[in-house]
A and B are shown apart, each in its own frame.
Chain A
Amino acid sequence: MALEDVCGFKEKLFSTLEDTTTSVHDYCNLEWKGQETSEKIPHHFFMPHFSQTNFSISRTPSPFGPRDRSVTVRRPFPLSHGTTTLGFIFQGGVIAAADTRASAGGLVACPAVHKITPIHSHLVVTSSGSGADCMLWERILIREIRLYQLRHRRRLSIRGTAKLLSFMLHPFKGTNVCVALTLCGWDKEDGGPGCAKNSEDTSCKTDDSPSGVISSATHSLSPNCGPQLIYVCSDGARLQGEVFSVGSGSPYAYSVLDGSLSWDLSKKEAISLAREAVFRATHRDAYSGNNVDLFLVTAQGWSQRRREDLKEEYYRDMERKAQKQQSGTTQVMTCKK
């Protein structure tokens, strides 16, 4: 599909179809081919159309989204929302973790959704917000990154990917597209000028491949080398950071992470911390639950931990608490008479 676009194959095929009946045109959503010249963004393959919303109001619709709220149609159904996802950077790479529940209103639409999607070998993205929006925008992002790679013979950096995604989402600002993605990845720029931020950090500059350890005292995250964590949202925010948690369960996850997160965690400790954060968030947040997915991104690429049902963890936790109480180390609150 991506290769077809680079070769211009699709344009040639469908240009003949455009000359035929326009009713088939509208029916099968082939309009996107004809709008090639008028749309400023070339990524129109999956783009939803705005022109269909003026069924009753005689207003000229703007090409980039309904400006007036009253033109949009009220939906009679709820969409999937509600989640806990988190990502953080430590010395061993980037961890991305998420729960697996998709809720639509008060109903659990699906108890086993994949909220973490690999984009390429060194980038995974955690999604939260509306399920359909995230799924489709991830698909668009995969396609665009692949096209970039085919056209320019090198892989786009994580920061570049975040910028591209943010610019693609910008026309939909103000509509109810709800997408909040955290890009967790590893950049493999070898030995470029941007690789060393501090003057004392020469090890990164001279090595021809990042060994995964940025050996500077202040662990400065160089702009185009090593682990990256960037948050992109459909409101237009694009933030780089060391720890992010997104979704309705994020306050609970943040509190667990802030308590124990540090740069020097071992791989095992980091995984256990991420799991714990998601577990506590699913316990307290009604819209998060079921299982926890965990991905680790290193210089070698991403690896996935087996999906774990948190029901077992909850029972183990209850047992631990019961044992603690039995051994009498905790003082239960006394009632004042």
Chain B
Amino acid sequence: MISAQAFGDPGKMKDYHYTGPVEHRFSPYAYNGGTVLAVAGDDFAIVASDTRLSEGYSIHSRDSPKCYKLTDTTVLGCSGFHGDCLTLTKIIDARLKMYKHSNNKTMTSGAIAAMLSTILYSRRFFPYYVYNIIGGLDEEGKGAVYSFDPVGSYQRDTYKAGGSASAMLQPLLDNQIGFKNMEGVQHVPLTQEKAVQLVKDVFISAAERDVYTGDALRVCIITKEGLKEQTVPLRKD
């Protein structure tokens, strides 16, 4: 059973000697792990996530992907607390339907991102413990990635990693896709095949070093032809 103490400040050593009885408050949050990644290209977008659902030292499920299809051109990846992920996706689905019925058109990726920001902020004082990344195509058909923090601050990016292994994956993506910290290198635009291969390699690395990431990888590729999904096995230990 995970107590609220588990989510203490990062970098602080936890004391293990007996300090007297400590009151543990019920924490409404749990951390279910998982990593999500999204990459935007010139005419495609990729959203990928691992499929492990864990809590503490246990694995609840090896087949719980974290990519949710919202529309034909938008996929949402959410990791963090699984209960909040489920409720949030239900709310977004309902709002998408309402929009479709009122305005007779599907919501665009940018509009979904703005809406998600307000949904998250409406719970500013009891947040959804979810790290969201939206991947899709914008109105011009170019790839778009929007990354969020748990209370609704968002930004359009070219690539973003979120979840438990995000701190390990983001520098690798900065180097390989953003060509950061490399001198004298030609900036070649990312092709779809190279991007998919990069995503697979990057998740294999994440599974090596992060205990909450593994089991399998679900990759969703969004192009103007539609959505394609691939499943790739990862380490199961």
Contacts and interface: CB of A to CB of B under 8 A. Distances in A.
A132 B129 contact: no
Interface in B116-163: 117-127, 129, 147, 149-155, 157
B90 A76 contact: no
Given A27-B94, A76-B7, A56 B125 contact: no
B20 interface: no
The interface residues of chain A, by DSSP majority, are classed as loop
A106 B10 contact: yes
B67 to A, nearest CB: 21
B7 A48 contact: no
A78 B122 CA distance: 18
B28 A55 contact: yes
Interface in A60-108: 66, 72-80, 102, 104-107
Interface in B86-101: 90-91, 94-95, 98
Contacts of A136: 117-118, 121, 152
A29 interface: yes
A135 interface: yes
Number of contact residues on B: which range applies?
35 or more
Contacts, number: 98
Contact of A110 (B27, B125, B152, B155): B155
B123 to A, nearest CB: 6
Interface centre among A49, A56, A78, A135, by most chain B C-beta atoms within 10 angstroms, is: A135
B91 A27 contact: yes
Contacts of A79: 149-151
Interface in A95-144: 102, 104-107, 109-110, 112-113, 130-136
A53 interface: yes
Contacts of B123: 48-49, 52
Contacts of B102: 13
B94 A24 contact: yes
Nearest to A30: B98
Given A28-B98, A131-B149, A132-B117, 19 more contacts: A28-B91, A28-B94, A29-B119, A48-B124, A49-B125, A50-B125, A52-B125, A66-B125, A79-B149, A104-B149, A109-B149, A110-B157, A113-B155, A133-B124, A134-B153, A135-B117, A135-B152, A135-B153, A135-B154
Q: Which 4 A-B pairs have the closest CB atoms?
A: A76-B7, A132-B153, A48-B124, A131-B153
14 contacts: A46-B121, A48-B122, A48-B123, A52-B123, A66-B125, A72-B125, A73-B125, A76-B29, A77-B129, A80-B153, A110-B147, A132-B152, A135-B117, A177-B124
Interface of B: 4, 7, 10-11, 25-29, 31, 90-91, 94-95, 98, 102, 117-127, 129, 147, 149-155, 157, 167
